[in-house]
Amino acid sequence: MSKISRDEVAHLAGLARLAVTEQELDTFAGQLDVILESVARVGEVAAGDIPPTSHAVPVTNVFRDDVVRPSLPREAALDGAPAAEDNRFRVPRILSEEA
């Protein structure tokens, strides 16, 4: 018995704005059932005495330490710009006013 119905798959597809066929609804319902069962099995394995982790192995930061140092003066940076306005880089508009 399917745990997720075709109607639920159709609803999810609508939310994701996906056009799916009747055959795909059946296929996706089966695939989503497998995914949900797998997630449920993982939940069963998790024990209360095991602390949650984000990584299987320890992770260390490989970035260098931040060091404060002088930066390029604003005038020098703007001198190399193709266009500047009000002490800022001027770039072409890429979005409409509606966005």
The pLDDT value recorded for residue 31 is 93
- The pTM of this model reads 0.45
Do residues 5 and 29 touch, judged by C-beta distance below 8 A? yes
The pLDDT value recorded for residue 22 is 93
Percent of the chain at pLDDT exceeding 90: 47
Distance (Å, whole) CA 35 – CA 98: 39
pLDDT per position as a tens digit, 57-75: 888 888 888 899 999 999 9
Question: Secondary structure of the chain: what % helix, strand, coil (to 5)?
Answer: 40, 5, 55
